[in-house]
């Protein structure tokens, strides 16, 4: 015990370590209580919290209770490092915990403590499946201590949502929490405009219960996969659209016309393309062509400047947005694929007409781009909470952004067991063909030993191309990409079985542990292959973190090729073309070029960070302008 404490103190966690003996002491005093008496003790803590006793003073007793409840209901007693992770989150920071260290169980500690005052706690996860799964898994712990648990899911009625939010602890996604906040805001305005004010609900009677807000105050939010929710999703605002009118029919016709006309425009002749900004601008010749192309009668009222915009947008989506990478067509709808996670981004749409331009390009129904009735960014949503904490396996590389935007420190939590993961040397090839052939060879070699292999790809398209290569090589495998999340979790949970080969888009199945099958530990554990560097080093680290959980053995290797998209985006088209030309004549490996990929990745990360800072700045300016005009910044559109 003493050696564990000294090890943790050396890692700069002394203020948390000092509380561990106190928690141990309370655990020893309370562990022999009956279930009924344990619940009574918990209700006593709740009374003290509601009476105004500071939560930090209740922490040792609260953590001891949760530890006992975990051991009794699930046979899972929190490790010392999990107690430290819980304290980090309680103190308003991001706990960086390695994959497999039990983040879901750790979350019960600060969640229970902040739930004591009865003001409501929101636990935000990346999708509905994980929200429901985590709530169900941890419900026995909370119930033993007298806490109620609710879950917010996409297709719930207002009444069910209100009940879920009235619980002590509510699990859901940031998207659902944000949309519910906006709907409540719209409802409150509507009630005021009808002249009912605070008497509205009383005058309306019980049958109008559904016309009351569903959320309570924003007291404490605990964000699971904090980097994915707070950073990767931060560039897409949550928007509720207004009711469409006649103008939208014209907009649909414009999108459809531009999608057909786009094929007649050629780069450099009719338009110029900026590779850094990914923007399209028509030349004088291009604008002349817009005037000449035949148009339906419905477009007679549309000005030329607007038509130029539609054509530029159509060219942009043809160049920059690809099916199987950025989106998929599902049941006749364009559905965004989150590039950071490889998952379907339910309910999200690209703004500024991009989504409608893609729908027109794909020939599906164009959903009218109506005016916005309400909007909020992820950044704005979570900054509304009085207390905020989070956890993830990869936050260190973004600690500056967490601090600057959310005022959250990132603190690395030690592992319960010493990691045994082997990081094998990078392999760089002149072109993609040589790279993919080498990947198939490595899969074959590792698979022949009986070890399981997990291969991460950036896009759905690449996962399917690799699948074809593996079929040709006679290697049995499973492919996992942006489809049903429940099936994702099931496939990922099997990925550690002997001889298994699993091909997955980025972090598909993230949040599900890969446990090693019988005999795999002795063979060397799970082998993870990264087929292409991502725009963010965090995503690469997440994939690497799938092996070597809880002190298990494992290994990982990064593959790269000089025609990878990372170099195009990070270094620009001129340098990229030279590298492709050089790579075509190379037969061997090029290890010296690995540094070039890291440089390109850092440039892309800096650009994305800059984009998020610009968004935050504009949102602040927009809100300031609305307030000066006496408007609601969440409900009134900028124009």
pLDDT interval class at 1 (50, 70, 90)? very low
pLDDT interval class at 77 (50, 70, 90)? very high
Q: Is the dihedral of CA 293, 296, 297, 298 positive or negative?
A: negative
Given a contact cutoff of 8 angstroms between Cβ atoms, the answer to whether 125 and 172 are in contact is: yes
Q: What is the pLDDT of residue 206?
A: 45
Given a contact cutoff of 8 angstroms between Cβ atoms, the answer to whether 390 and 224 are in contact is: yes
Q: What is the pLDDT of residue 343?
A: 64
Q: What is the DSSP letter of 370?
A: P
Given a contact cutoff of 8 angstroms between Cβ atoms, the answer to whether 507 and 99 are in contact is: no
Spatial neighbors of 267 by CB under 8 A, at least 6 apart, are: 273
Could you give phi then psi for residue 526, rounded to 5 degrees? -75, 140
Given a contact cutoff of 8 angstroms between Cβ atoms, the answer to whether 541 and 394 are in contact is: yes
Nearest-10 Cα torsion for 40, 44, 46, 48: 180
Chain segment 591-616, per-residue pLDDT in tens: 999 999 999 999 988 888 888 888 77
Task: Return the structure tokens found at 520.
Answer: 């795999």
Chain segment 395-406, per-residue pLDDT in tens: 887 888 899 889
Chain segment 429-480, per-residue pLDDT in tens: 999 999 999 999 999 999 999 999 999 998 888 888 999 999 999 999 998 8
If you search the block for the tokens 């053995």, which residue do you land on?
553
If you average pLDDT over residues 147-161, what whole number do you get?
Answer: 92
Helix and strand counts by DSSP (H, E) for the chain: 27, 21
Chain segment 479-514, per-residue pLDDT in tens: 886 555 667 777 878 889 999 999 987 655 566 678
3-state secondary structure of 539: helix
If you search the block for the tokens 């409501």, which residue do you land on?
120
| CB neighbours of residue 591 within 10 Å | 12
Across the beta sheet with 333-338, the strand order is 327-330, 333-338, 343-344
Task: Return the structure tokens found at 241.
Answer: 């659209």
Cα–Cα distances in Å, from 133 out to 299, 333, 424, 542? 50, 27, 34, 21
Q: Which of 124, 153, 580, 193 is nearest to 389 (CA)?
A: 124
If you search the block for the tokens 């002749």, which residue do you land on?
269
| CB neighbours of residue 577 within 10 Å | 11
Q: Which of 442, 521, 514 is nearest to 475 (CA)?
A: 442
Whether the predicted pLDDT of 2 surpasses 50:
no
Cα separation, 183 vs 574, whole angstroms: 48
Chain segment 24-43, per-residue pLDDT in tens: 999 999 999 999 999 999 99
Q: Kindly list the structural domains of the chain, giving each domain's residue range(s) and its CATH number in brackets, ordered by start.
A: 1-192+215-241+377-412 (3.40.50.300), 246-362 (3.90.1440.10), 420-594 (3.40.50.300)
Annotated binding site: 82, 100-104, 513
HSE-CB at 154 with a 13 A cutoff on CA atoms is 9
Annotated binding site for ATP: 82, 100-104, 513
């Amino acid at each position: 015990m003493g050696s564990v404490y000294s090890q943790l103190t050396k890692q700069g966690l002394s203020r948390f370590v000092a509380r561990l003996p106190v928690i141990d002491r309370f655990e020893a005093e309370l562990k022999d209580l009956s279930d009924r008496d344990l619940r009574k003790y918990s209700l006593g803590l709740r009374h003290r919290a509601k009476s105004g006793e500071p939560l930090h003073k209740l922490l040792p007793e609260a953590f001891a209770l949760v530890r006992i409840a975990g051991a009794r209901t699930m046979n899972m007693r929190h490790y010392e490092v999990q107690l430290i992770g819980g304290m980090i989150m309680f103190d308003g920071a991001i706990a960086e915990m390695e994959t497999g260290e039990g983040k879901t169980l750790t979350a019960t500690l600060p969640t229970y403590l902040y739930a004591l005052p009865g003001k409501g706690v929101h636990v935000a996860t990346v999708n509905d499946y994980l929200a429901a799964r985590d709530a169900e898994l941890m419900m026995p712990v909370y119930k033993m201590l007298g806490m109620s648990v609710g879950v917010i899911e996409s297709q719930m009625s207002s009444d069910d949502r209100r009940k879920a939010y009235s619980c002590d602890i509510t699990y859901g996604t940031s998207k659902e929490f944000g949309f519910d906040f906006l709907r409540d805001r719209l409802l409150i305005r509507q009630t005021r405009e009808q002249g009912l004010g605070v008497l509205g609900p009383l005058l309306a009677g019980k049958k109008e219960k559904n016309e009351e807000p569903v959320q309570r105050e924003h007291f404490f939010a605990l964000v699971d996969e904090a980097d994915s929710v707070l950073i990767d999703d931060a560039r897409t605002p949550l928007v509720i659209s207004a009711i469409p009118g006649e103008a939208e029919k014209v907009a649909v016709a414009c999108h459809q016309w531009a999608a057909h006309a786009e094929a007649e425009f050629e780069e450099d002749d009719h338009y110029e393309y900026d590779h850094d900004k990914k923007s399209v601008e028509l030349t004088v010749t291009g604008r002349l062509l817009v005037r000449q192309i035949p148009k339906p009668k419905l477009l007679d009222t549309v000005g030329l400047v607007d038509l130029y915009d539609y054509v530029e947008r159509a060219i942009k989506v043809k160049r920059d947005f690809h099916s199987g990478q950025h989106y998929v067509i599902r049941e006749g709808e364009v559905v965004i694929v989150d590039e950071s996670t490889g998952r379907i981004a339910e309910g999200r749409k690209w703004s500024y007409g991009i989504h409608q331009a893609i729908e027109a390009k794909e020939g599906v129904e164009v959903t009218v781009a109506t005016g916005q009735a309400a909007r909020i960014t992820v950044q704005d949503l979570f900054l509304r909470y009085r207390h905020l904490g989070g956890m993830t396996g990869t936050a260190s590389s973004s600690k500056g952004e967490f601090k600057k935007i959310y005022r959250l420190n990132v603190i690395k939590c030690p592992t319960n067991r010493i990691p045994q993961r082997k990081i094998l040397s990078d392999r760089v090839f002149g072109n993609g063909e040589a790279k993919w052939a080498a990947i198939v060879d490595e899969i074959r070699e590792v698979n022949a030993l009986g070890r399981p292999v997990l291969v991460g790809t950036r896009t759905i398209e690449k996962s399917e191309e690799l699948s074809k290569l593996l079929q040709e090589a006679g290697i049995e495998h499973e492919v996992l990409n942006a489809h049903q999340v429940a099936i994702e979790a099931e496939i990922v949970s099997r990925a550690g079985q002997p001889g298994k080969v699993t091909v997955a888009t980025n972090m598909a199945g993230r949040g599900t542990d890969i446990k090693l099958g019988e005999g795999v530990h002795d063979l060397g554990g799970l082998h993870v292959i990264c087929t292409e560097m991502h725009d963010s080093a965090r995503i690469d680290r997440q994939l690497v973190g799938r092996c070597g959980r809880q002190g298990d053995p494992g290994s990982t290797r990064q593959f790269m090729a000089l025609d990878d998209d990372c170099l195009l985006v990070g270094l620009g088209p001129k340098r990229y073309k030279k590298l492709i030309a050089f790579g075509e004549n190379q037969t061997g490996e090029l290890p010296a070029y690995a540094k070039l990929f890291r440089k390109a990745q850092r440039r892309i990360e800096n650009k994305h960070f800059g984009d998020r800072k610009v968004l935050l700045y504009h949102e602040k300016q927009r809100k300031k302008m609305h307030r000066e005009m006496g408007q609601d910044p969440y409900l009134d559109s900028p124009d």
